[in-house]
Structure 1
Amino acid sequence: MDKKNFLSLLERYQDGTTTPEEEQMLLNYLDSFQNEHDDEWPSALGNSEALKRDILDGILQNMGKEKSKNRLPKRFPSQKFLKYAAGIAILLGSTYLFFEIDDHKKANLPLLQPENSIVLKLDNGSTDVISENDRKNITDSQGNVVGVQTGNTITYAQEKKEQKELVYNELTVPLGKRFDLVLSDGTSVKLNAGSTIKYPIQFIEGHNREVEIWGEAFFDVTRDENHPFLVTANNVQVEVLGTKFNVSSYPEDDDISTVLVEGSVQLTNKDKSNLDDSFVIVPNQKASWDKNSEKMTIEEVETDIYTSWTSGRIIFKNIPFKNIRKKLERRYNVTIINNNQALDEKFYNASFDIETIEQVMKAFKENYSIDYSITDNQIIIN
C-alpha cells in the first residue's frame, strides 16, 4: 500500500464508506505503531500514543458494523484526521505491515492476514493483499517482474533466468475463497479455501521441484523426468514426475490424504528413510496418513468426490456429518456449532454447487430433519 492509497483509504473510512475488510487492513497498519517508528515520530503531530489510540479506537468502534447513514460519527473532524493521516503516511512511506506468528510453521499457520483477504508473501517477508479482480505484475523483493496476476490466477514467468538460489513466495487463501497458480515450470495448482502454499518463483536446473502445502490443493504437474516434483504436507512427501492429484492436509483433520487422478505418485514419511515407509498409488486410489497412528492406508475411490471443489462443486457420499461440517465451514467461511453430538457420527449423501449456505442447510433440514438456526455467519444445530 503506497502513500496515495493509504490516504485514500483513510479518507473513505472518515466518510463511512470502507468495508470491514478494509478497516481490518487499516487496523493492522496502524497497530504496527505500537512497536515501530516511535523514535521517528514527527513532533508536529503531538503525542504519538494519544493519536494512535484515537485512530485505533475509531476503527475498533465501527469494525464489523453495517455501513448506513446512521453509522456512528468519528471522534475527530475530517481536516484533523487527514492531517494525521498524511503524517502517518510520510512516516511509514510505502511499507504495509502485517503481524506474523514467529512459530507459524509449528502451528501450521504460515501467516496472519486481514480477514477474508488473499495474501502473497514475498521472499523478504513483505506481504501484498491480492484482489481477485486485479490485473497486475507480480514482483520479487527487488522489484523485478516474476509473474502476472489475471483475476483469480497468478502465472509465474517460464523463461529461465540466471539464478543460483531458490527464492520462495507463499500464497494464503482464506476460508470461503479459492485461487489458482501456474508455477514457472507450467505446473497448475488450484488452492482450496483455508490453504497456504510455499513455492519457488523459479525452479533451478539440477534441483528437484519442491513445494509445501497447508490445507488442500489440486496439482496438474508438468512432466520433467530430470526434475521430480515433490509436495510436502506435514510429515508426508508426495513425489511425481508428471501427473494429476489432490492433496489435503488441513491442521484440524485427523489425516493427510492424496487422491490420484492420473499418472502415479510415491508417498513417503519424511521422518523415516526405510523403504517400507514408502507407498505407490495408481489412478483412482486414495492414500491416507493417520496423524495419530502414523499408519498409511490405501483404498479405491471415486476421484470426483475429492476433486469436485476445483470446479466449484462439493460432493458428500457416505460422509460422517462431522466431516461435512468442516467442509462447509471452509467453503462458506461460517462457524457451525453442533449441539446434537449423535449427528456427527451419522453418514450422509449430498451435492451442491451454486447454493448459498442458507440453501444448503435448508436441504439438510428437508431431507434429513436437521434442526438449526442461522445468525450472521454462525449456524447452531440443535
Structure 2
Amino acid sequence: MNREQAKALVEKYNRGLATKEEKVWLENWYLQKSAYLFLEDHEIDFNKIEAELKSRIFNYAGLEVQIQQTKHRSLWLRIAAAAALLGIVSGLYFYHQHTTVKKIQQSELVQDVAPGGNKAILTLANGKTITLSDAKTGVIIDASSLKYNDNTAIIPNTGPLAQASGSDLLSPHAVAMSLQTPRGGTYQLRLVDGTKVWLNADSKLEFASNFGENRQRIIKLNGEAYFEVVKDKHHPFIVRSGVQEVEVLGTHFNVNAYTDEKAIKTTLLEGSVRLHTTGQGTTANRVLKPGEQATFAGNKISVAQADTESVMGWKEGLFIFHDADVPTVMRQLSRWYDIEVEYSGAIPKDLFTGGISRESNLSTVLKMLELIKIKTKIVQTETGRKLIVNP
C-alpha cells in the first residue's frame, strides 16, 4: 500500500466508513510500517485524529506526551498519533520517551497467549463453590437468590446446591461469601445493598450475603476493585485491605491492593472517603477529595492528584500507562495473561506512556514493545508459560 492509499484508508476510518476487514488490514500494515511512517500535516488533520481517539476509547488515552526535544520529535509525534488511531483497531499504542525511530527485528514467539476474560468463582457460606459462566459478566446477590446480571439463574431451583445456597441467603443473619477472580479473569458483582463492584484479575472480595442490622457494611479486598457504593448515611461502607480501611457513605472509588505492589493505592472519582490505617503501632487518617489518590506505604499515607486515566483503564477494557516503568507494565500483563515474567539481564529503565486493549492477544502487545526496543520471547516450562524480557 502506497502513501496515498494509506492516507485514504485512514481518512475512511476517521469517517467511520472502514469495514472490519479494512480495520484489521490497516492494523497489520501499521505494525509493519510504523517504524518509518511519515505523513505531512497537510495530508491528514492530526487534531481530528486526536479528538477521534479520545472519544473512541472512552477518553482514557490522550495524546499529550512529553518527549525530549530532538530532531526526531516531530516525526515521532506523527507516528504516535497514527499509532494511537490504529490502537483503536489493533488494541494498542505506545509512546516512548527519548525515542529514535528504527526498524526492529521481531522476537520469535513460541506460542501466542489469549487475553483474559470473564472468570470467577463464587464461594458460599457453607464452603460450596460455583464456577461462574464465562459467557456472563456479573452476578447479583439479593436476599433470596443468586443470579447473573442478565437475570438468569446461577444455580438450579432444585437440588442440594440450590437448597444450601437458598438457606444461606434467606438467613436473617449475615453469612460470609466471597468472589474470586483468577489471573486472567474479571467479574462484576452487585451486593445486596445495591452497591456495584468491578473485580480485576487475581483479586478476591469477601462480603456478607446480607448486611442485616449491622451498623457498618464491611467487605474485604485483596487485589483490585472499583466500587460504586449506594448511599446510606446510617450504615457506612467499609473496605478493608490489610491494615487499611476505606470508609464511605456513598461514592465511586478504586482500590489497588495487590500483595506484589509496593503500596496500596486508593483513588477517588466521586464523593468523599476517609482512609484509616493501623499497623506497627502507628495510626493514620486522611480524607480524599474527587480526583485524589492516596498511597499507603511504610505505615504512611501520602495524597496527590490522581492519574485517573491510568487507574480506570482496566475497568474500560484497557491498560493505560503514563510514565510507567517496565516492571509496572509487566506485572499488569502477567496478571491478565496469566504468564510468569522473567528478566534475563538488567531490567530496562524505559518509561512508557500509552495504552493497550485488554482484548488483544499477547503477541500483539509484544510486537509493539519490540518497536520501542523491548525484546521478549515466550517459552514453555514445566509449570506453564513464561515471558522472558531481554535487556
Q: Contact (CA 8 Å) 1:152, 1:180: kept in 2 or not?
A: no
Equivalent residues in 2 for 1:38-77, closer than 5 Å: none
SS of the aligned residue for 1:223 comes to coil
**Deviation of the 1:270 alpha carbon:** 3.7
Match of 1:288 in 2: 295
Structure 2 unpaired stretches of 5+? 1-117, 155-168
Distance 2:223 2:188 in 1: 14
Alignment deviations for residues 182-202 of structure 1 (CA, whole Å, 9 cap, x no partner): 001110000000000001111
What amino acid sits opposite 2:307 in the alignment? Answer: E
- The DSSP-based 3-state class of the residue aligned with 1:325 is helix
SS of residue matched to 1:178: strand
- How has the CA–CA distance of structure 1 residues 284 and 380 changed in structure 2, closer, same or farther, with 3 Å as cutoff? same
Once the two structures are TM-superposed, the CA of residue 152 in structure 1 deviates from its matched residue by 11
**Number of residue pairs the alignment of both structures matches:** 254
The answer to whether residue 196 in structure 2 is matched with residue 188 in structure 1 is yes
CA gap of 1:136–1:358, structure 2 versus 1, over 3 A, is: closer
For 1:357 and 1:325, the matched residues in 2 are separated by: 11
2:127 partner amino acid = G
Q: Which amino acid letter does the alignment assign opposite residue 349 of structure 1?
A: T
The SS at the match of 1:342 is coil
2:207 to 176, 191, 199: 199
Distance 1:118 1:255 in 2: 25
Superimposed CA distance per residue, residues 300-321 of structure 1 (whole angstroms, 9 cap, x where no aligned partner): 1221210111121110100111
Shift of 1:134: 6.0
State the one-letter code of the partner of 2:231.
R
Q: How does 1:215-226 map to 2 (within 5 A)?
A: 215-226=223-234
* Partner residue of 1:329 out of 330, 334, 351: 334
Secondary structure (helix, strand or coil) at the match of 1:362 reads helix
Which residue number in structure 2 is paired with residue 12 of structure 1?
none
Q: CA deviation at 1:129?
A: 1.6
Aligned to 1:41: none
Q: Give how far 1:117 is off.
A: 5.6
> Which of 365, 370, 373 is residue 369 of structure 1 equivalent to?
373
**SS of aligned partner of 1:165:** coil
2:124 corresponding residue in structure 1:
122
Aligned equivalent of 1:248, options 243, 252, 256 = 256
Partner of 2:286: 279
Where does residue 304 of structure 1 map in the other structure? 309
Contact 1:192 1:216 in 2 (8 A): yes
Q: Which runs of 5+ in 1 are unaligned?
A: 1-115, 156-160
The answer to whether 1:358 aligns with 2:363 is yes
> CA offsets, 1:130-152, max 9 Å, x none?
22226999899xxx943212479
- Aligned residue number for residue 238 of structure 1: 246
SS of match in other structure, 1:323: helix
Name the counterpart of 2:52: none
Distance 1:197 1:257 in 2: 16
- C-alpha contact 2:294 2:302 (8 A) present in aligned 1: yes
TM-score calculated relative to the size of structure 1: 0.61
Q: 1:330, 1:267 → 2: CA distance?
A: 27
The question of whether the paired residues in 1 share the 8 Å contact of 2:121 and 2:179 is answered with yes
SS in 2 for 1:237: strand
- Give distance in 1, aligned partners of 2:318 and 2:258: 19
Q: 1:152 to 1:317 in 2, by over 3 A?
A: farther
1:28-43 equivalence runs, <5 A: none
* Helix, strand or coil at the partner of 1:260: strand
Aligned to 2:174: 166
**Structure 1 partner of 2:110:** none
Contact 1:228 1:241 in 2 (8 A): yes
Partner amino acid, structure 1, of 2:302: T
Query: How far off its partner does 1:328 sit?
Result: 0.6
**Residues 249 and 257 in structure 1, CA contact (< 8 A), matched pair in contact too:** yes
| Distance 1:347-1:137 versus aligned 2 partners, 3 A rule | closer
Amino acid at match of 2:240: T
Residue type matched to 1:362 in 2?
Answer: K
Kindly indicate whether the alpha-carbon contact (under 8 Å) linking 2:125 and 2:177 is maintained by their aligned counterparts in 1: yes
Q: Equivalents in 2 of 1:247, 1:280: separation in Å?
A: 15
* Secondary structure of 1:245's aligned partner: strand
Cα distance in 2 for residues equivalent to 1:139 and 1:182: 6
TM superposition shift of 1:341: 2.2
Are the aligned partners of 2:120 and 2:182 in contact in 1 as well (CA < 8 Å)?
A: yes
Identify if the C-alpha distance between structure 1 residues 149 and 331 changes in structure 2 by more than 3 Å, giving closer, same or farther.
Answer: same
Counterpart residue type for residue 132 of structure 1: D
Cα distance in structure 2, aligned partners of 1:151 and 1:190: 16
Aligned residue for 1:277, secondary structure, equals strand
Q: Structure 1 CA distance, aligned partners of 2:296 and 2:152?
A: 30
Do the aligned residues in 2 keep the contact of 1:153 with 1:181 (CA within 8 Å)?
no
Distance 1:228 1:154, change over 3 A: farther
Query: Using a 3 Å threshold, how does the CA distance of structure 1 residues 362 and 139 change in structure 2: closer, same or farther?
Result: closer
* Relative contact order, higher structure (CA 8 A, sep 6+): 2
Q: Distance in 1 between matches of 2:137 and 2:327?
A: 39
